[in-house]
Amino acid sequence: MPATPQHFTLAADTEKIFTLDRNCGMVRIVVVANPAVIYFNTKNTAVPAVASSQDGHQVIPAVITAVEVEDETSGTETIIRMRSAGTPTVMVTGW
């Protein structure tokens, strides 16, 4: 059963933490509107300011797209942390 989808418009250069209601094996992130580069991880580690080094974090290019990645969070919930230079609207879920 999939986790409950979450929808959010990111604030520029502000980290957003999504907590899904179950621990998932896979995470899906959909850029719904206002595409901008998004840096993220599923390890529950902070995503630094956009102008900083993003080594160790994944990236979504500034396009309307969907990506699926493995969940690296341990515990009973899946945690996705992301940050963008712009204000894209995203949907996050997992299964």
Q: What mean pLDDT do residues 4-9 have?
A: 97
| Domain assignment of residue 25, yes or no | yes
| Domain assignment of residue 29, yes or no | yes
Into how many domains does the chain fold? 1
30, pLDDT greater than 90: yes
Dist CA 78 CA 95 (whole Å)? 10
Residues 6+ apart with CB under 8 A from 65: 30, 31, 35
| Domain assignment of residue 49, yes or no | yes
Place of tokens 């940050």: 83
| Domain assignment of residue 78, yes or no | yes
Q: What is the pLDDT of residues 43-70, one digit of tens each?
A: 999 999 998 999 999 999 999 999 999 9
3-class secondary structure, 13: coil
| Domain assignment of residue 1, yes or no | no
Predicted confidence band of residue 86 (pLDDT cuts 50, 70, 90): very high
CATH assignment of the domain containing 73? 2.60.120
Per the structure, the complete domain to which residue 10 belongs is given by: 6-90
Percent of the chain with pLDDT over 90: 92
| Domain assignment of residue 34, yes or no | yes
Full-model pTM: 0.94
1, pLDDT greater than 90: no
